[in-house]
Structure 1
Amino acid sequence: MTTAAMPATPADPGAAEAADVTGRLDALDDMLRLGGGRLDPRLLDEAGALLDRAGERLRLSGEHTVVTLAGGTGSGKSTLFNAICGLELSPTGLRRPMTSKAHACVWGLDGAGPLLDWLDVDKRHRYARASALDTARSDTSLQGLVLLDLPDHDSIRAEHRAEADRFVTIADLLVWVVDPQKYADAALHRDYIVPFARYAGVTLIVLNQVDRLQPEEVDDCVADLRRLLQAEGLADPRIVTASAASPDGVLGFREVLVDTVAARRARAQRITTDLDRLAERFAGQSGADEPPAGVPAPARAALVEELTDAAGAPAVAEAMESAYELRAADFVGWPVASLADRLRSDPLRRMRLGELREELRNAFTGPVGAQQGDVDNALAAVAETVTGTLPPPWARAVRAAARRHAGELPEDLGEALKDALPTFNQVPRWWWLIKTWQYFLVLATALCVLWIGLLVAYGVFGAGGDGANGLIGDAGLIPYVAVLAVCTLGMGYLTNLACRNMVALQSANHGERMERHMLDSIERVAEAKVLKPIADELAVYAQFRKDAAALRG
């Protein structure tokens, strides 16, 4: 690398990748918040663990690249580790297992302490090397490298295997060290290569101990290893050969480490791969179709209609219409006909008028409302209109939102009907005018009858002698007064007929008006208790889809 090329190199080559990763992590954080209680808890737990792990890694030193040496018993990990470090830092030998705890060697201590604490590397197994080690090859400086020697993944000690597994999931660059005899080890490929196949970009395979092979055997062994890895899903695997038996045997591996550290992209690439893997897990939770913003207008109208029927609003409106007519009869009816009805003693009418009025006055003062079964059917129907294209978890969430207030709806609908009913002590003013006019006609008729009686007594039978007044003593007035009485009776009867027709028309309008009022009240209840929760849940799902797209990058 020439000096002239240095200004063109950004201070942090991985800054753009880190910024992109940060945006994807923010989207994942929002998805966890939105998916809580809706999606598979195991998936959310996995996503939460990745979010915590990635957030911590981004918060810690970006100047350092964590590289782990993992492998099986006898693969020569520790020997390779010591060869790169230039010192005997990790114990080697024939006795297995030799490495029981992760050993770390750091090039450049500034900022590495918190990173090693997060990696949970025992302070007794931390080592530092100055960049002066690389003065002989200044173009291959390892400044910023954190190299870890892990316990054997196939150790007979469970705690050793757990230690290796932990670092495998958090390393920036994962290096698998294999030897010519055991590179096809089934446990390695089954438990690590296949599950982590998509991590090819941050995975390196080191075929160690090639000094045991003939030169022509090395190429055959590498070719066979590559074939095996590709068959297991590791796309374009990176393979280098190494041998700690000679000073130049680790140069190829060292060059890869130098390039990785210089690029400073392994950290972001590892997290990016983790996010890609998680995005695939979330793919089934986010449908391809854009969700509706709310319940369509026809379904809204159908819901209100079904809730109206469930609450019995049409029957209440019809009863209100009947009550209106009965109450009007008390005001605009012809008192003479009412008196005749009372003399006939019709108990059914008295019972209907009195009990119906009391029922309508008291029907909605308590928690009496719609039938729960009818309400449940209406809620299920409206939910199905918007869940057809939703993934199963979100369809369940929308159905749950529709039923969130199902237990409250019958009482709320009853209260809505109660609020829509008029008070019974309010009557139209013209009723009072007609009532006054009818009683005036009754009074006039009564006076006419009294007048006729006086005319008969004084004019016909001469009860008052010759001194009787002409208005009560002239029997010839009897026909005229009788006609006047008949006219007042006729006027009362005709007034009664006209008012009954008018009341019939107004009672129908009154019933329709009450039904509209009840419909408006029920619509407000449906909006607050059903439609808004569904719309809110659909809005959550829409935001989740946007975050899922951002997570996919």
Structure 2
Amino acid sequence: MTTSAIPANSPAGTGETPLPAAPVPGAPAEPAGPPGLVERLDGLDRLVQAGLGRLDKPVLDDADALLRRAGQRLRLSGDHTVVTLAGGTGSGKSSLFNAICGLELSPTGMRRPMTSQAHACVWGLDGAGPLLDWLDVDKRHRYARASALDLERADATLQGLVLIDLPDHDSIQAMHRAEVDRFVTIADLLVWVVDPQKYADAALHRNYIVPFARHAGVTLIVLNQVDRLAPHEIDDCVADLRRLLEAEGLADPRIVTTSAVAEDGVHGFRDTLVDTVAARRARTERLSADVDRAAERFTGYRLDAEPPVTVDDGRKAELLQALTDAAGAPAVAEAMESAYELRAADFIGWPVTAMVTRLRSDPLRRMRLTELREELRNAFTGPIGAQQGDVDNALQSVAEGVTAELPPHWGRSVRTAARSHAAEIPEALGESLKDALPTFNVVPRWWWLVKTWQYFLVLVAALSVVWIGFLVAYGLLDLGGDDPDGLIGQAGLIPYVAVLVVCTLGMGWLTASACRNMVALSSAKHGEKMEHHMRQGIERVAREKVIVPIEEDLEVYARFRRDVDVALGRG
């Protein structure tokens, strides 16, 4: 068995055998992982995207970092398994590292600290260069391990192993602890080396065992230096260590005993490494455990109950009514109903009555009524179309009704969505009312017919009065001489013509009265139609500015709930 250091000017590190700097061109693409892993990563990515601006930033940042790390690891060699040896000062991890490698590659000793930088030993060079670059192992501390014996014994080969000796996790040097923390997050298999004296070290269990308790499948506990114990003490020590690990949440912990100084003292550990490397599952199992841990943090942002995905009809109706009242649509419809009646009076009213009224009325008032529509249109050209306070109250009411069934973070998100166009709504309501206002130059035909009839009656009445005048002048005053005209000089016709005048005036008054009743019915329908058109416009504003943003946010939450199950491997 031989071990060679890789030259410092080679892509892989220091020694005689260079590691390739990049994957071999044309090599077949390795699978991204076992069935479900890629889908779970995609689900986690969707969770991060959905949570932006909604969920707590540390949770999103940690998940995003995992996604980047997983993507990088899956693009690197899947034929290599990264195994880290971590432990405290004096635990013997560097001695164990050297024993597996077969040579003294990592410094050993009891002083603090001995290993100041990560050392890597690689079995199988093809594709290891980019992996070691990603691991950021210094090129001076990379070693290539060639084992002819291993290649001949397929049942014991370590081909594909990347074994890394880390600095002490309890080092007084902050940079050493940071190096351990970094490798703990990226290693495929975590090996914690403990000794009989310090296997219950609080720093190890508090900082690493408990936080990574969900990673039991890719965690191995090595009880080293068992040569210092009697056989029955070894069993007691292992049992106590197992009890401690299980109490901290590490389910069914794997524990291996070793002794770097005893003959065959590392065979059990070596066999475990052989099995791990041969299975080539540590990489994807580690990523799956990482996804489990990240996805579990998202479960607190959802409720078990099925969420609403739409705003129910009752709340829509309440919102529509609130916005209608805020815009003053009923008052506008009433004003337009009155304007309709006043406009109709110009056509169907009895002209004689209108002339008498005009003599007593304020001409400015009449002028203002004729410009009512333009005044109303101008009233809705700016934000005064509706009061912002009334709009805000309406938005708060509909949002509170929907968010009652959502978790707090998503409730805030829905309320934000409901108010996303709050500043635009008053003007939009004003525009919708303005567009619903009718044009006054559209006059029903029957108004013209009535107006023509009324003026015909006025003409008949006027001519009849003139006729009476001629009858008085030529008949009673005898202005026509001895031979007066029969229709002008016959005073006896005066009563009949007077009856004609009275009948004509009466017909005009009756016509105007009947038409006023018809206009009253028409104006009511006109007002209802006006309000209906305005409500249609307000409903469109409510849907575009409020309902759609809320329902889009509810749909995001519904997808979020599904993606949590996908990320957890349940989808």
SS of residue matched to 2:34? helix
Give the distance between the partners of 2:448 and 2:381, measured in 1 at CA. 29
The one-letter code matched in structure 2 to 1:101 is Q
Alpha-carbon displacement from aligned partner over 1:310-363 (angstroms, at most 9, x marks no partner)? 111001111111111111111111011111212334679647735755533533
Verify: 1:230 aligned to 2:262, yes or no.
no
Percent identity over paired residues: 75
Which of the numbers 178, 182, 188 marks the counterpart of 1:172?
A: 188
Which of the numbers 315, 319, 332 marks the counterpart of 1:299?
A: 315
The match for 1:371 is 387
The match for 1:98 is 114
Give the distance between the partners of 2:477 and 2:152, measured in 1 at CA. 157
Give the distance between the partners of 2:311 and 2:377, measured in 1 at CA. 36
Please state how far the C-alpha of 1:303 moved relative to its aligned partner. 1.1
The answer to whether the 8 Å contact 1:361/1:424 transfers is no
The match for 1:4 is none
Tell me: CA distance 1:431–1:136, structure 2 relative to 1, closer, same or farther (3 Å).
closer
Give the distance between the partners of 2:84 and 2:377, measured in 1 at CA. 82
Verify: 1:239 aligned to 2:255, yes or no.
yes
Alpha-carbon displacement from aligned partner over 1:375-410 (angstroms, at most 9, x marks no partner)? 111111212232222111111111111111111111
Verify: 1:511 aligned to 2:553, yes or no.
no
Verify: 1:487 aligned to 2:537, yes or no.
no
The match for 1:53 is 69
Tell me: CA distance 1:129–1:221, structure 2 relative to 1, closer, same or farther (3 Å).
same
The answer to whether the 8 Å contact 2:380/2:427 transfers is no
The one-letter code matched in structure 2 to 1:534 is I
SS of residue matched to 2:256? strand
SS of residue matched to 1:43? helix
Which of the numbers 552, 555, 566 marks the counterpart of 1:536?
A: 552
The answer to whether the 8 Å contact 1:321/1:508 transfers is yes
Consecutive unaligned residues of structure 2, counting only runs of 5 or more, are 1-27
SS of residue matched to 2:177? helix
Please state how far the C-alpha of 1:141 moved relative to its aligned partner. 0.5
Tell me: CA distance 1:137–1:346, structure 2 relative to 1, closer, same or farther (3 Å).
closer
Give the distance between the partners of 2:211 and 2:374, measured in 1 at CA. 75
Verify: 1:381 aligned to 2:391, yes or no.
no
Please state how far the C-alpha of 1:104 moved relative to its aligned partner. 0.4
Verify: 1:340 aligned to 2:326, yes or no.
no
Alpha-carbon displacement from aligned partner over 1:443-498 (angstroms, at most 9, x marks no partner)? 11111111110111111111121243211111111111111111111111111111
SS of residue matched to 1:240? strand
Give the distance between the partners of 2:185 and 2:382, measured in 1 at CA. 62
The answer to whether the 8 Å contact 1:310/1:375 transfers is yes
Range with greater deviation from structure 2 (382-391 or 512-521): 382-391
Alpha-carbon displacement from aligned partner over 1:279-333 (angstroms, at most 9, x marks no partner)? 2110011221222221111211111111111111001111111111111111111
1:107-506 equivalences under 5 Å are 107-135=123-151, 137-345=153-361, 350=366, 353-354=369-370, 356=372, 359-506=375-522
Give the distance between the partners of 2:373 and 2:244, measured in 1 at CA. 89
The one-letter code matched in structure 1 to 2:348 is V
Give the distance between the partners of 2:274 and 2:156, measured in 1 at CA. 5
SS of residue matched to 1:106? strand
Give the distance between the partners of 2:111 and 2:535, measured in 1 at CA. 85
TM-score by length of 1: 0.94
Give the distance between the partners of 2:264 and 2:520, measured in 1 at CA. 111
The match for 1:525 is 541
Which of the numbers 57, 61, 72 marks the counterpart of 2:88?
A: 72
SS of residue matched to 1:18? coil
The one-letter code matched in structure 2 to 1:438 is Q
SS of residue matched to 1:70? strand
Please state how far the C-alpha of 1:137 moved relative to its aligned partner. 4.3
The one-letter code matched in structure 2 to 1:89 is L
Range with greater deviation from structure 2 (193-202 or 487-496): 193-202
Give the distance between the partners of 1:102 and 1:535, measured in 2 at CA. 52
The one-letter code matched in structure 2 to 1:83 is A
Alpha-carbon displacement from aligned partner over 1:194-221 (angstroms, at most 9, x marks no partner)? 2222211111111111112222222222
Range with greater deviation from structure 2 (382-391 or 339-348): 339-348
Give the distance between the partners of 2:194 and 2:482, measured in 1 at CA. 151
The answer to whether the 8 Å contact 2:256/2:268 transfers is yes
Alpha-carbon displacement from aligned partner over 1:224-271 (angstroms, at most 9, x marks no partner)? 222222222222211111111133010010011011111111111111
Please state how far the C-alpha of 1:545 moved relative to its aligned partner. 1.4
Tell me: CA distance 1:366–1:137, structure 2 relative to 1, closer, same or farther (3 Å).
closer
Consecutive unaligned residues of structure 1, counting only runs of 5 or more, are 1-11
Alpha-carbon displacement from aligned partner over 1:49-100 (angstroms, at most 9, x marks no partner)? 1111111111111111110000011111111101000111111234431111
SS of residue matched to 1:506? helix
Give the distance between the partners of 1:125 and 1:382, measured in 2 at CA. 64
Give the distance between the partners of 1:123 and 1:16, measured in 2 at CA. 28
Range with greater deviation from structure 2 (144-153 or 337-346): 337-346
Give the distance between the partners of 2:373 and 2:61, measured in 1 at CA. 61
Which of the numbers 81, 91, 111 marks the counterpart of 2:97?
A: 81
Give the distance between the partners of 1:338 and 1:136, measured in 2 at CA. 120
Tell me: CA distance 1:531–1:135, structure 2 relative to 1, closer, same or farther (3 Å).
closer
SS of residue matched to 2:386? coil
SS of residue matched to 2:264? coil
Please state how far the C-alpha of 1:428 moved relative to its aligned partner. 1.1
SS of residue matched to 2:334? helix
Give the distance between the partners of 2:151 and 2:519, measured in 1 at CA. 110
The answer to whether the 8 Å contact 1:320/1:360 transfers is no
Tell me: CA distance 1:17–1:353, structure 2 relative to 1, closer, same or farther (3 Å).
closer
Alpha-carbon displacement from aligned partner over 1:501-537 (angstroms, at most 9, x marks no partner)? 1111101010001010101111111111111111111
The answer to whether the 8 Å contact 2:87/2:193 transfers is yes
Give the distance between the partners of 2:274 and 2:547, measured in 1 at CA. 60
The answer to whether the 8 Å contact 2:86/2:165 transfers is yes
The one-letter code matched in structure 2 to 1:525 is V
- Aligned residue pairs total 541
Give the distance between the partners of 1:97 and 1:366, measured in 2 at CA. 74
The answer to whether the 8 Å contact 2:381/2:427 transfers is no
SS of residue matched to 1:62? coil
Range with greater deviation from structure 2 (208-217 or 510-519): 208-217
Give the distance between the partners of 1:218 and 1:419, measured in 2 at CA. 89
